[in-house]
Structure 1
Amino acid sequence: MKLTKFAHACVRLEKDGKTLLVDPGSFSEDAVFAAADAVLVTHEHPDHLDIARIAALDVPVYTNAGVAAQLTELGDRVHVVAGGQSFDAAGFAVTAYGQDHAVILPEWGVPCANIGFLIDDAVYHPGDSFTQPDRAVHTNLVPISGPWFALPPAVEYARTVQATQLVGIHDGLLSEIGLGMFPRFFNTDERPYVRLSPGDSTEIS
């Protein structure tokens, strides 16, 4: 399986001639939407959900009820899933985790629903949360910026999830200087931190 990182929180997975997009949002390059066989959306914020460009793909979308309420024009192409549920998306085995977006400010409470996705028991995308999968993964996608982000829980999340490698995501707010800091916090011999720029790929065995 091939994983390609795109701007901010979007990744593309390719396997056996099929393409799965996760969180193609408003920051995503047009190339993200060139082709897909299915889309996963973790939550309803625009940096993860570009409604117009997802609608133009004419493929199934798997997401939570909050996002589905914004995609009613897509009809039965939208499939509502919840934490703990497993399903098939274009030949990829997917399990959903969690239910809440991370808190941005205490007085705002939980801003919306959020589900993480474990894909083929290999790649885990938590959306805007540090919800952990219940098993080891090959590639753990670690959010590294955002209004809700804080470094200590991010490092704890990365240390707790058993993974072969870490890849930083949710990085659209960072400068080149900021991006260069994160290997210092996350890189270890047992879980190397792999920095991917938009368009870079890594093979998942």
Structure 2
Amino acid sequence: MKLTKFAHACVRLEKDGKVLLIDPGSFSEDAAFEKADAILVTHEHQDHLDVDRVAALDVPVYTNAGVAAQLTALGERVHVVEGGQSFDAAGFSVSAYGKDHAVILPEWGVPCENIGFLVDDAVYHPGDSFTQPDRAVHTNLVPISGPWFALPPAVEYARSIKAQQTIGIHDALLSPIGQSMFSRFLNADDRPYLGLAPGESTELS
């Protein structure tokens, strides 16, 4: 499987000629959307969901009820899933986890629904949460910035998941200095940290 990171939280997976796109938001490059066969969206915030560009693709979208409410014009192309469910998307096996977006400020409470996606028991994307999958994974995508982000739970999240490697996502707000310093916090002998720039890829074996 080939994994390509795009700006912020957008990740593109390619396998057997099929393309699965996760969280294509307003920061995502147009190249991320090319030849996509299916889309997963963790939650409704614009940095994870570009409604117009998603609507322009004639492909199925798998997401939660909050996102589906913004995509009613797509009709039966939108499939509502919940944590605990598994499904097939363009030949990829996907399991959904969790329900809530991380709290940004206590007085705001939970801002919206959020589900994480585990693809082919290999790549886990948590969206805007630190919800953990119930099994070991090859590649754990770790949010490293954002209004809701805090370093200690991010490190604990990365340490708790048995993964062969971690990749930083949700990073558009960071300077190059901020980007580079996360290898110090998240790199480990048993869980090396891979800081991919937008457009860079890695092969998962």
TM-score range, shorter chain: over 0.9
Residue aligned with 2:180, SS = helix
How far 1:204 sits from its partner (Å)? Answer: 1.0
* Structure 1 residue aligned with 2:5: 5
Alpha-carbon distance between aligned partners in 2 of 1:34 and 1:118, rounded to the nearest angstrom:
22
* Structure 1 residue aligned with 2:99: 99
* Structure 2 residue aligned with 1:44: 44
Residue 60 of structure 2 corresponds to residue 30 of structure 1: no
Residue 15 of structure 2 corresponds to residue 18 of structure 1: no
Alpha-carbon distance between aligned partners in 2 of 1:27 and 1:8, rounded to the nearest angstrom:
7
* Structure 1 residue aligned with 2:84: 84
Question: What runs of 5+ residues in structure 1 fail to find an aligned partner?
Answer: none
How far 1:34 sits from its partner (Å)? Answer: 1.7
* Structure 2 residue aligned with 1:117: 117
Deviations 1:97-123 (A, max 9, x none): 000000000000000000000000000
Residue aligned with 2:149, SS = coil
How far 1:56 sits from its partner (Å)? Answer: 0.7
Residue aligned with 2:107, SS = helix
Alpha-carbon distance between aligned partners in 2 of 1:20 and 1:34, rounded to the nearest angstrom:
11
Q: Which runs of 4+ in 1 moved over 2 A?
A: none
How far 1:138 sits from its partner (Å)? Answer: 0.1
Alpha-carbon distance between aligned partners in 1 of 2:137 and 2:42, rounded to the nearest angstrom:
18
How far 1:67 sits from its partner (Å)? Answer: 0.2
Alpha-carbon distance between aligned partners in 2 of 1:35 and 1:54, rounded to the nearest angstrom:
12
Alpha-carbon distance between aligned partners in 2 of 1:122 and 1:174, rounded to the nearest angstrom:
27
The alignment-based identity, stated in percent, is 82
How far 1:32 sits from its partner (Å)? Answer: 1.0
How high is the TM-score relative to the length of structure 1? Answer: 1.00
Residue aligned with 1:25, SS = coil
Count of aligned positions: 205
Alpha-carbon distance between aligned partners in 1 of 2:90 and 2:6, rounded to the nearest angstrom:
20
How far 1:57 sits from its partner (Å)? Answer: 0.9
Q: 5 Å matches for 1:125-136?
A: 125-136=125-136
Residue aligned with 2:157, SS = helix
Deviations 1:140-191 (A, max 9, x none): 0000000000000000000000000000000000000100110000101100
How high is the TM-score relative to the length of structure 2? Answer: 1.00
